[in-house]
Structure 1
Amino acid sequence: MNFNYYMPTKILFGPGKLNELANETFPGKKALIVISAGNSVKKNGYLNRLESILTNKEIEYVLFDKILPNPIKSHVMEGADLAKKENCDFVIGLGGGSSIDSAKSIAVMAKNPGDYWDYICGGSGKGMPVENGALPIVAITTTAGTGTEADPWTVITKEDTNEKIGFGCQYTFPVLSVVDPELMLTVPEHLTAYQGFDALFHSTEGFIANVANPVSDVYALKSIELIANYLPICVKDGNNIEARTQVALANTLSGFVESTSSCTSEHSMEHALSANHPKLPHGAGLIMLSEAYYTFFASKVPDRFIAMAKAMGVDVDSLPEEERPMSFVKALIKLQEDCGVHNLRMSSYGIEKEDIPVLAENARRTMGGLFEVDPYTLSLKETVEIMYKAYK
């Protein structure tokens, strides 16, 4: 019963909320708009809508459109240089988690000296304090996956060393976020599934973490319930605005979980996979790891697993006591089958089984802090075994 609560972001949530951005006070007069290198936010008109809102409010803007699905440090530094050169006084992340995460990191480096990795804890990072704060951040999410619109976290890869590490501080909470499920209607079904499971695992990891608390538990269990009920509908019918809205809510709740609890080592393991194989979508990597990961932990915190199974709609009281914790894993597998993602293979992304020990070491070296919040302390051998069992 000992925890701190800090969630300073104003969130506009619901269908049509992008339009209401026109009524908000922006935190500056010139924005750096950060979007992906893909064309979805342009093609779907979201960028034009944002530009119109800014123009009508007499706010200048500059576009930075190079962000990759697994964002990299060199683009953070390039974006920060552009923000400084153009005298931008706030940053807008428009798109999925990669664009918003990059916006957060760019906001830090636009106000602080040196290299981004100077401020990273873990791996080759120097762990320096962020003394100058960050430019204010506005987040407009077009996906339901990372919860980054409602937490301080950003994940960037140092591409020359294959280190993919999370970072966040009080300055990297967005000051204003828009969660408009209408912007999510165009997400393809496979990405809808990957993103939904990323949100799910933020909540399940946050629920089993040893720093979980009563507030994060409430958010986590509701998020798990909503994803179990509505993600298969979103995958099958992407235009179902009710289902999209419920999954968007689950995603934002998962961001609240990450603001009040923590991810666990499942994320460390996935970061090692996608740092070395950047074409692997983060959510897909988590799905690949999940059955083996949660099977291992089911016996470590059985009560937590029973609560998660209940949230997913399992009638645990009808089961023999010894089967109740693993009923969550069975429900997880069924959800993956319903969403068409249960048979994802690491080998499809060029990951070799003999690489697993090195990848496990990478996970522990770069994001060892998440192993410390696991409900049971994994050894390197156990980490390798989980990843071996997850390998297909």
Structure 2
Amino acid sequence: TNPGNIWDYCQKGSGGRKQPENAPLPVVCISTTAGTGSEADNSGMVTNSVTKEKLGIGFQSLFPVLSIVDPELMVSVPPALTAYQGLDTFFHLAEGYLSKKANFFNEMFSITGIEKIGSYLGRAVKDGKDLEARENVAFANTLGGFVMSTGKLLSQHSLEHILSAYHPNLPHGAGLVLISRAYFGFFIERGLCAEKFVKIAKTLGFKEANEPKDFLVALEHLLQECGVADLTMNQFGIKEDELPGFAQEVRTSLPLAFDCDPIALTVKDCEEIYKRSFK
């Protein structure tokens, strides 16, 4: 219903920054994966392969008027993609919970969704036809969309989007896995969000958790259970000498998510997280 192409309406980077002149056609979402929560939010990511930018586009008018979340439509998703998508859901939930813009409303969604991921994602990865597992992971995914719509995420997603913009063969969830230990460890080492990290660890199923670093133990268990703990940047063609440039670019082109972090990450901090994630 509007002229031009989608990049004209991107509000960041080299996007055209146009506003829609006309109301869009009604959006109806039927989920066939459980990862991004698109059935419950008003935005999406667009990759510009010419400029190597991967940026979000969203307007209030793009919230779905109807969403159908049916786990029977997800049983054919292969194990690796089930893991990548489900972990994307987990990071939505965890980032929203740790965000400076967290609130009672989205924290409620986060904790419920994290409990579902901890209990059911491993099962869904191991047996894609396990409808109980698929249903609970799908529900967690929709909650992740609510978390994004009622709060904000952290810069982990921004750090990943740079990786997959330059390496489009890198699945988004896999990219998040690659940087997750170093990213959350950065805040834990600085004593930030201590109670929340313990709460997430307990909610994932590590009931004995009593200190923030137990979050990393619980995360490692989840990655192992999903069969993705040994992913490396080398597998996806990412070179170590690219990382300083990525760190510089992410702070320039995707600044908004950094405003939600427990502390403001510098370019040097981003480079440290990338380098600690490289193997």
Shorter chain as normaliser: what TM range? over 0.9
| Alpha-carbon separation, structure 2, partners of 1:271 and 1:213 | 25
Match status 1:190 vs 2:80: yes
**What is the correspondence of 1:59-70 to structure 2 with a 5 Å cutoff?**
none
**What is the correspondence of 1:337-352 to structure 2 with a 5 Å cutoff?**
337-352=224-239
SS of the residue corresponding to residue 212 of structure 2 reads helix
Match status 1:262 vs 2:149: no
Q: CA deviation at 1:114?
A: 3.4
Counterpart amino acid of 2:206?
V
Match of 1:171 among 39, 51, 61: 61
**What is the correspondence of 1:50-65 to structure 2 with a 5 Å cutoff?**
none
- Where does structure 1 differ by over 3 angstroms across 4 or more consecutive aligned residues? none
Counterpart amino acid of 1:364?
R
Q: CA deviation at 1:143?
A: 0.7
Match of 1:231 among 107, 112, 121: 121
Counterpart amino acid of 2:29?
A
**What is the correspondence of 1:4-43 to structure 2 with a 5 Å cutoff?**
none
Equivalent residues of 1:232, 1:339 under 8 A apart: yes
| Alpha-carbon separation, structure 2, partners of 1:169 and 1:303 | 34
Q: CA deviation at 1:159?
A: 1.1
SS of the residue corresponding to residue 274 of structure 1 reads helix
Equivalent residues of 1:154, 1:166 under 8 A apart: yes
Residue of structure 2 in register with 1:217 after alignment: 107
Structure 1: segments with no counterpart, 5+ residues: 1-110
**What is the correspondence of 1:48-127 to structure 2 with a 5 Å cutoff?**
111-127=1-17
Seen in structure 2, the aligned counterparts of structure 1 residues 129 and 173 have a Cα distance that, compared at 3 Å, is same
Counterpart amino acid of 1:314?
F
| Alpha-carbon separation, structure 2, partners of 1:360 and 1:163 | 14
Match of 1:305 among 188, 197, 200: 197
Structure 2: segments with no counterpart, 5+ residues: none
Match of 1:325 among 212, 215, 219: 212
Counterpart amino acid of 2:194?
P
Structure with more of its chain in strand, by fraction: 1
Q: Percent identity?
A: 47
| Alpha-carbon separation, structure 2, partners of 1:257 and 1:389 | 28
Q: CA deviation at 1:185?
A: 0.8
Equivalent residues of 1:360, 1:383 under 8 A apart: yes
Equivalent residues of 1:200, 1:227 under 8 A apart: yes
Match of 1:335 among 222, 227, 234: 222
Moved more, 197-206 or 298-307: 298-307
| Alpha-carbon separation, structure 2, partners of 1:311 and 1:170 | 32
The structure showing larger relative contact order (alpha-carbon pairs under 8 Å, at least 6 residues apart) is 2
Alignment length, in residue pairs? 277
Moved more, 197-206 or 130-139: 130-139
Seen in structure 2, the aligned counterparts of structure 1 residues 295 and 179 have a Cα distance that, compared at 3 Å, is same
Equivalent residues of 1:185, 1:239 under 8 A apart: yes
Larger radius of gyration: 1
Match status 1:367 vs 2:254: yes
| Alpha-carbon separation, structure 1, partners of 2:115 and 2:9 | 36
SS of the residue corresponding to residue 213 of structure 2 reads helix
| Alpha-carbon separation, structure 1, partners of 2:255 and 2:23 | 25
Q: CA deviation at 1:136?
A: 0.9
Residue of structure 2 in register with 1:383 after alignment: 270
Q: CA deviation at 1:255?
A: 0.7
Residue of structure 1 in register with 2:25 after alignment: 135
SS of the residue corresponding to residue 2 of structure 2 reads coil
| Alpha-carbon separation, structure 1, partners of 2:28 and 2:206 | 39
| Alpha-carbon separation, structure 2, partners of 1:242 and 1:116 | 38
Equivalent residues of 1:122, 1:368 under 8 A apart: no
Residue of structure 2 in register with 1:60 after alignment: none
